[in-house]
């Protein structure tokens, strides 16, 4: 498969006859709107096209993606239900999933897992492989500014969601997970807990904005846990990955 880094938490997954775009916020061009790997390549690629969104936050869901149907009427949209509840879409715009619900066809299975923020995370199965996109699931441990009670609550909430995912899939071929330096000095705590609880063959950092070095800082820990770590250095970067 080919993994495409679009921006922030937005990625593309390319298989022989299937393309998946998830959590599109903006395209990979840093200078021109609606230019980059999505508009110039992925939307033109033949085969089945799926567009997924984990939740309503504007850095994960851009309503402009619904306009893609004008040129690609075959798109299958799979969204977290909070996007519909929030009034951003209509019932017939997409398939909507809450935690515990799933979508499946001949090419793809998508299972909605939980989040410690709004919406869901997605566990996808395709070509016999598993891919997990966390959305905004994380141990949002703002240790430098939170009370101990708030830190403990965030930790407990996160561990409950990890237990849920672990029961579904104790090993996952590819994990895409927030590595967000804005959280402060203990910002990789959730990442460490994830790879300690669930065996990840490939780990992909996300949600770091333009802070590439901050996202890359988790590399050494992930590799000690047996993960292949994907180092992202720029928008539109493509990785040919065997999993």
> What is the Cα–Cα distance from 14 to 1, expressed in whole angstroms?
6
Which residue's entry shows tokens 């798109």? 75
Q: Are 194 and 201 in contact (CB under 8 A)?
A: no
- The architecture of the domain spanning 2-240 is 4-Layer Sandwich (3.60)
Q: What is the pLDDT of residue 156?
A: 96
User: What would the two tokens of residue 96 be?
Assistant: 């909507």
List strand residue ranges (DSSP E) for 55-156, in order.
Answer: 76-80, 95-97, 102-104, 109-113, 121-126, 129-133
Q: Would strands 10-14 and 18-22 be described as parallel, antiparallel, or unpaired?
A: antiparallel
- What whole-number percentage of the chain has pLDDT above 70? 100
Exposed, middle or buried, 46 (CB in 10 Å: 0-12/13-18/19+)?
Answer: exposed
pTM (predicted TM-score): 0.97
pLDDT per position in the chain (243 positions), as tens?
A: 999 999 999 999 999 999 999 999 999 999 998 899 999 999 999 999 999 999 999 999 999 999 999 999 999 999 999 999 999 999 999 999 999 999 999 999 999 999 999 999 999 999 999 999 999 999 998 777 888 898 899 999 999 999 999 999 999 999 999 999 988 888 999 999 999 999 999 999 999 999 999 999 999 999 999 999 999 999 999 999 998
């Amino acid at each position: 498969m080919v993994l495409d880094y679009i921006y922030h938490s937005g990625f593309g997954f390319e298989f022989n006859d299937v393309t998946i775009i998830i959590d599109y916020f903006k395209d990979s061009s840093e200078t021109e709107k609606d230019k980059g790997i999505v508009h110039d390549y992925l939307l033109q690629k033949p085969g089945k096209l799926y567009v997924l969104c984990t939740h309503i936050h504007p850095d994960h869901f851009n309503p402009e993606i619904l306009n893609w149907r004008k040129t690609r009427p075959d798109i299958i949209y799979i969204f977290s239900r909070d996007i519909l509840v929030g009034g951003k879409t209509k019932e017939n715009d997409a398939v909507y999933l809450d935690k515990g619900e799933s979508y499946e066809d001949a090419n793809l299975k998508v299972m909605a897992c939980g989040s410690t923020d709004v919406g869901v995370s997605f566990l996808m199965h395709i070509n016999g492989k598993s891919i997990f996109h966390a959305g905004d699931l994380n141990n949002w441990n703002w240790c430098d500014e939170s009370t101990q009670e708030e830190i403990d609550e965030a930790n407990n909430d996160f561990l409950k969601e990890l237990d849920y995912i672990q029961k579904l899939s104790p090993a996952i071929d590819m994990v895409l997970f927030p590595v967000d330096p804005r959280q402060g000095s203990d910002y990789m705590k959730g990442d460490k807990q994830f790879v300690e609880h669930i065996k990840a063959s490939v780990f992909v950092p996300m949600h770091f904005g333009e802070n590439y070095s901050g996202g890359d800082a988790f590399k050494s820990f992930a590799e000690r846990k047996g993960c292949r770590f994907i180092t992202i250095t720029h928008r539109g970067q493509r990785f040919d990955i065997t999993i």
